[in-house]
Amino acid sequence: MNIPKANATSKDVAKLAGVSQSTVSRVFLPGSSVSEKTKNKVFAAAKTLNYRPNAFARSLTTNESKLIGLVFPDTDYPLHMKTLQLISSELQKQGYSAVLIPWQVDDEALHSIPNIFQYRVDGVIAASATFNKSLYEECAEFNIPVVQFARVVEGTRSSHVVSDNYAAGQTAAKHFHNNGVKSAIYLTGDIPTFTNNERKAGFCSEFESLTNKQAHVVEASFDYTEALDKIRVVLSQVNRPDGVFCATDNIAMALMDVARLEFGLKIPDDLQVIGFDNIPQAEWLNYQLSTFNQDFKRLARESVKIIVDQISQNDSTLVKLMLPANFIERKTTR
Amino acid sequence: MNIPKANATSKDVAKLAGVSQSTVSRVFLPGSSVSEKTKNKVFAAAKTLNYRPNAFARSLTTNESKLIGLVFPDTDYPLHMKTLQLISSELQKQGYSAVLIPWQVDDEALHSIPNIFQYRVDGVIAASATFNKSLYEECAEFNIPVVQFARVVEGTRSSHVVSDNYAAGQTAAKHFHNNGVKSAIYLTGDIPTFTNNERKAGFCSEFESLTNKQAHVVEASFDYTEALDKIRVVLSQVNRPDGVFCATDNIAMALMDVARLEFGLKIPDDLQVIGFDNIPQAEWLNYQLSTFNQDFKRLARESVKIIVDQISQNDSTLVKLMLPANFIERKTTR
DNA sequence: CTGAAAGCGCTTACAG
DNA sequence: CTGAAAGCGCTTACAG
């Protein structure tokens, strides 16, 4: 076995196959007119030399990189990995690859962005809710389409694919009402996001219109440990709530732990809980949390579709999709 | 405000600044000799035109892409996101960007790899334990260095940075012995990995040499739900174990849930549990799991350092690092 | 269907 | 310190 040259070029392949370099190029371009015979010769030569077209050289002439920038969150939420997984493999199906744009909120933002734009990504998928707007401006400046995944940063104009958070909030309120909840609260984290606000608004307005009572909003934290103290305050109140809709499953679990372990409350008898996200822990024996499931697979597919369409058709139409989030009833509601 | 041209080139900048194109190029190359004066002229022009050097064109001449392929796991384990985060920002500090190589175990493997090699990544960091060897072979063929992060695929020759799993296993055994555990088992998942085997070996051999009793190994699943039944079998045994070292925190939590909720066992009184990974849930009120913490930050830093060194010095020395994993004692051990 | 040639936007010896 | 020119490995009109 002879060792193939580390990096064969189309020229090398051409020489070995006895054709011109442009012919080799055509062979690797889908839809070009090449005879079966030369095609086979070229493939054979390419195989011998272990040839792969150089994507950089291609980008230089075609002016598209087939690279999508992926802005991803800096938190450790159990779902994000799956998200990345889905987006990235969906991208691959369409012939694109994903370049990571890590986004640290507390970073000297100016540094990481320019870096990434040296690679001329064809588009950006943003799966982070908490980053600032400079990225959007930067993209606009370079005419790079961006689609927001499962969230929308306020004050930005871009396509997005999200779950219908408002409707989810309404559904939660209806369930509480049907299950006899008298005093409800919306327990949320400290960072306001658009999708979270939607959930809150849907929940509060629906609960009020149904019961004529106001659902209070309590701001704790998206971090389990940091949320604990606020939760203790809530459960110590004289008129303790008997129904809590939580902004995330994570918060819901903090609530359940404190309620059961420190206040000796029974769930759902003394307290009904609904979460949001359907993280893996939601179906654990100890939690069995009623929650909302987002269709991440479809969210991924749709956001990739949008970005690819915008790139290939050079169409800057803003697309905003809102997919239903399904209520999963488990054991924390009656 | 005038709209800057979407994609200014060094030529455009040169014209505006009144210098040659090569001078512009030098200005953006660290360590080139350019006078302060022309440097400023060029920077000004670049700013006006919103110029960014085109990384693809650069790659074409320098023959390095400043891109690192990142193979990441297909599971939803809570730690992986943090891992990605750390590696990717560490990479950024060194002037590299990360391209995602999603790895589906059940994929027509041949399809996704070649795709990625069209981008000529300078190196690969593999953070997935379960993928097959073709990637390694592919990398070898193209002379691309790879370093394995926190795991090692058996039968591959490549650098790696891992925690000292054997020592962790020993530590767990010592703790059990000191705490009076009489009957110990190692509870693991279904997919054998090198690091997991190390943990098991360290635990079993140490427990035996300490107590003269054998520690049994039970194979359940890395998936919470799938692990449940095997756990029920274990706890139903006549001589139920009083100490279980789990391959992951995830399994440990499945064990705790079943033990407490279905068998009414008290932890740590009736059963002592040690996990591995220190996932966020380990410090939740309901678990307070004693476990081992891997220094992911350092693992990330070291693996990036190795890959960058190998690239820049074109040095193919295999580096194998083994960092200590710290035992975090919480409430599931006495 | 195929080849020769120009060009994509850089870097890098080579002169000066 | 600076400029003119070659070259990196492709794609893409343009001829034939």
Distance of C1' in C16 from CA in B36, Å: 21
In a shared domain, residues B156 and B300: yes
CATH number at residue A27: 1.10.260.40
B64 touches strand D (CB under 7 A): no
Cβ atoms within 10 Å of A110's Cβ, excluding its own: 10
pLDDT (0 to 100) of residue A244: 98
B281 min Cα distance to partner chain A (Å)? 9
Instruction: Give yes or no for residue B214 having a pLDDT over 80.
Output: yes
Q: Which is more confidently placed, A76 or B16? A: B16
In a shared domain, residues A85 and A26: no
In a shared domain, residues A158 and A305: yes
Among B52, B44, B48, residue whose Cα is nearest residue B7: B52
Instruction: Give yes or no for residue A332 having a pLDDT over 90.
Output: yes
Domain assignment present for B329: no
A9 touches strand D (CB under 7 A): yes
In a shared domain, residues A273 and A321: no
3-state secondary structure string, chain A? CCCCCCCCCHHHHHHHHCCCHHHHHHHCCCCCCCCHHHHHHHHHHHHHHCCCCCHHHHHHHHCCCCEEEEEECCCCCCCHHHHHHHHHHHHHHCCCEEEEEECCCCCCHHHHHHHHHCCCCCEEEECCCCCCCHHHHHHHHCCCCEEEECCCCCCCCCEEEEECHHHHHHHHHHHHHHCCCCCEEEEECCCCCHHHHHHHHHHHHHHHHHHCCCCEEEECCCCHHHHHHHHHHHHHCCCCCCEEEECCHHHHHHHHHHHHHHCCCCCCCCCEEECCECCHHHHCCCCCCEEEECCHHHHHHHHHHHHHHHHHCCCCCCCEEEECCEEECCCCCC
Lowest mean pLDDT among A260-274, B204-218, B298-312: B298-312
Distance of C1' in C8 from CA in A69, Å: 22
| Minimum-distance residue to C3 (CA–C1') | A20
CATH number at residue B255: 3.40.50.2300
In a shared domain, residues A183 and A221: yes
| Cβ-based contacts (< 7 Å) between B 53-82 and strand C | 53-54, 57-58, 60-62
Among B20, B25, B81, B84, residue whose Cα is nearest residue B58: B25
How far apart, in whole angstroms, are the C-alpha atoms of residue A53 and residue B167? 46
Range of the domain at B177: 165-294
pLDDT (0 to 100) of residue A109: 42
Is A99 within 8 Å of B104 when comparing Cβ atoms?
no
Tell whether B161 is within 8 A of chain A (Cβ): no
Instruction: State the pairing for strand pair A326-328/A291-293.
Output: antiparallel
Q: Which is more confidently placed, A283 or A158? A: A283
pLDDT (0 to 100) of residue B115: 65
How far apart, in whole angstroms, are the C-alpha atoms of residue B38 and residue B20? 11
Domain assignment present for A142: yes
pLDDT digits (tens, 9 = 90+) for B286-334: 999 999 999 989 999 999 999 999 988 877 788 999 999 999 999 999 9
Is B100 within 8 Å of A120 when comparing Cβ atoms?
no
pLDDT (0 to 100) of residue A132: 63
pLDDT digits (tens, 9 = 90+) for B183-196: 999 999 988 888 99
Average pLDDT, chain A: 88
**Token digits of residue B273:** 């549990």
Domain assignment present for B332: no
Domain assignment present for B287: yes
Tell whether B155 is within 8 A of chain A (Cβ): no
Domain assignment present for B5: no
How far apart, in whole angstroms, are the C-alpha atoms of residue B92 and residue B75? 25
Q: What percent of chain B has pLDDT over 70?
A: 91
pLDDT digits (tens, 9 = 90+) for A22-41: 999 999 988 878 888 999 99
Q: Which is more confidently placed, A308 or A107? A: A308
Q: Which is more confidently placed, A314 or B219? A: B219
Which residues in chain A (50-109) have CB-CB distances under 8 A to chain B? 50, 52-60, 65, 67, 70, 72-82, 84-85, 88-89, 92, 95, 97-100, 102, 104
Band of the pLDDT at B129, cuts 50, 70, 90? low
A55 touches strand D (CB under 7 A): no
Residue in the block written with tokens 């009184």 = B269
pLDDT (0 to 100) of residue B109: 42
In a shared domain, residues A191 and A240: yes
pLDDT (0 to 100) of residue A108: 44
Write the CA distances from B111 to A10, A50, A94, integer angstroms: 21, 15, 12
Is B100 within 8 Å of A70 when comparing Cβ atoms?
yes
Q: For residue B6, which residues of chain A lie inside 8 Å, CB to CB?
A: 142-143
Distance of C1' in D4 from CA in A60, Å: 23
- One-letter amino acid for residue A219 of the chain: E
Tell whether B217 is within 8 A of chain A (Cβ): no
pLDDT (0 to 100) of residue B332: 98
Contact pairs from chain A to chain B, CB under 8 Å: 159
Write the CA distances from A147 to A122, B158, B246, integer angstroms: 12, 38, 41
Domain assignment present for B87: yes
Band of the pLDDT at B107, cuts 50, 70, 90? very low
Distance of C1' in C5 from CA in B60, Å: 20
Q: What percent of chain A has pLDDT over 90?
A: 60
Domain assignment present for B178: yes
3-state secondary structure string, chain B? CCCCCCCCCHHHHHHHHCCCHHHHHHHCCCCCCCCHHHHHHHHHHHHHHCCCCCHHHHHHHHCCCCEEEEEECCCCCCCHHHHHHHHHHHHHHCCCEEEEEECCCCCCHHHHHHHHHCCCCCEEEECCCCCCCHHHHHHHHCCCCEEEECCCCCCCCCEEEEECHHHHHHHHHHHHHHCCCCCEEEEECCCCCHHHHHHHHHHHHHHHHHHCCCCEEEECCCCHHHHHHHHHHHHHCCCCCCEEEECCHHHHHHHHHHHHHCCCCCCCCCCEEECCECCHHHHCCCCCCEEEECCHHHHHHHHHHHHHHHHHCCCCCCCEEEECCEEECCCCCC
Q: For residue B85, which residues of chain A lie inside 8 Å, CB to CB?
A: 72, 74, 102
In a shared domain, residues A307 and A159: yes
If one counts the domains in chain B, the total is 3
- One-letter amino acid for residue A186 of the chain: Y
Tell whether A284 is within 8 A of chain B (Cβ): yes
Distance of C1' in C10 from CA in B125, Å: 28
pLDDT (0 to 100) of residue A142: 84
In a shared domain, residues A277 and A318: no
In a shared domain, residues A157 and A193: no
In a shared domain, residues A144 and A212: no
pLDDT (0 to 100) of residue B137: 81
In a shared domain, residues B45 and B82: no
B183 min Cα distance to partner chain A (Å)? 26
How far apart, in whole angstroms, are the C-alpha atoms of residue B171 and residue B245? 11
In a shared domain, residues B172 and B290: yes
Domain assignment present for B281: yes
Which residues in chain A (125-154) have CB-CB distances under 8 A to chain B? 141-143
